[in-house]
Amino acid sequence: MKWLYWWRGKSVSPIFEYIDYRRYMQAFYDERKRTSAFTWREFSRIAGFSSSNYMKLVCDGKSRLSKAGVERVADAMELDGGAKEYFREMVAFADARDEGKRRDAFAKMQLLAKENKVRTLAADAYAYFSKWYNPVLRELAPMNPGVKPMELSKMCYPELSATEIRKSLDFMVQAGLLQKQDEYHYRQSEKVVTGVAGKVPPAMRPMHRQMAELAVDALENIPVDERRFAGMTMGISRRTFLRIAHEVEMFRRKIIAIASEEKRAEQVYRLNLQLFPLTRPQGGCHE
């Protein structure tokens, strides 16, 4: 059974195709808005919230749903059965502070999607970004045609097991991120796979955390002439932060363009771009 919600002939995609509950809420709102005079005030009222813009704050990631709030919102969107349970797990997945709880919630989401015979479109993205070595092997394997997993494992830093290599390559072939041409011969389906700029979606968090840990290790164990570490601490306003964030994004896109022109790669590198606050804003809010 597929859960579809219709207003004047157009539908919101099945909830099981979503991984971010805020995006589903936004899609629900956008479709109701498209076909009626639906407002955020009305959405909040139907869900039983006194604040007229509460649902907008939740969708923008500026507020979270309590357990009771999850039930109210699910009811407001007319979810029941497996769809309602899936919505609960999406919220748990997005808001979990512990990686173990996040994995558990995601596993339940996959099970519910399978039970309802709908493939979760974002599932492959989460699985891909959950292990730091998936993107590494996606670059390394095509660079070394004919090389067996045991040999590839010794090329990685830190070193991996042959089992981890095999599982990663098999997953990426199944997900369409790599094409297997022959035994131990792989080809990239696309030249570049990259996350979106701006807010970090849940699927990307494990990757950023693991890569940050690898960066600390590289600081101690990789020769200076093989790495570049730099940084600065500065006092700025919210307006300046946004300007810098824009420049960082432009730089990131330029690096992607340069890397995509590579004809003969020799090594796999990771570039981390990090801009984050070390203090709270004065007065408790941004200017």
87-146 pLDDT tens trace:
999 999 999 888 889 889 988 888 888 777 654 546 677 788 888 999 899 999 999 999
Please state the rounded mean pLDDT for residues 13-18.
82
For the cut 70, the answer to whether the pLDDT of residue 196 exceeds it is no
CA distances from 188 to 54, 93, 125, 139, 140 (A): 44, 30, 16, 8, 10
Residue 186 lies inside a defined structural domain of this protein: no
**pLDDT on residue 39:** 94
Q: Which domain holds residue 42?
A: 5-120
**What does the alpha-carbon distance between residue 86 and residue 17 come to, in Å, rounded to a whole number?**
10
Strands 10-12 and 178-182: unpaired
Residue 20 lies inside a defined structural domain of this protein: yes
Residue 275 lies inside a defined structural domain of this protein: no
pTM (predicted TM-score):
0.55
Residue 96 lies inside a defined structural domain of this protein: yes
Residue 242 lies inside a defined structural domain of this protein: no
**pLDDT on residue 36:** 86
* Closest to 194 measured CA to CA, from 259, 275, 245, 266: 259
Residue 136 lies inside a defined structural domain of this protein: no
For the chain, the domain total comes to 1
For the cut 60, the answer to whether the pLDDT of residue 211 exceeds it is yes
**pLDDT on residue 112:** 85
Residue 141 lies inside a defined structural domain of this protein: no
Count of residues for the chain?
Answer: 287
Residue 67's CATH number: 1.10.260
Q: Tokens 């809420």 map to which residue?
A: 25
Residue 97 lies inside a defined structural domain of this protein: yes
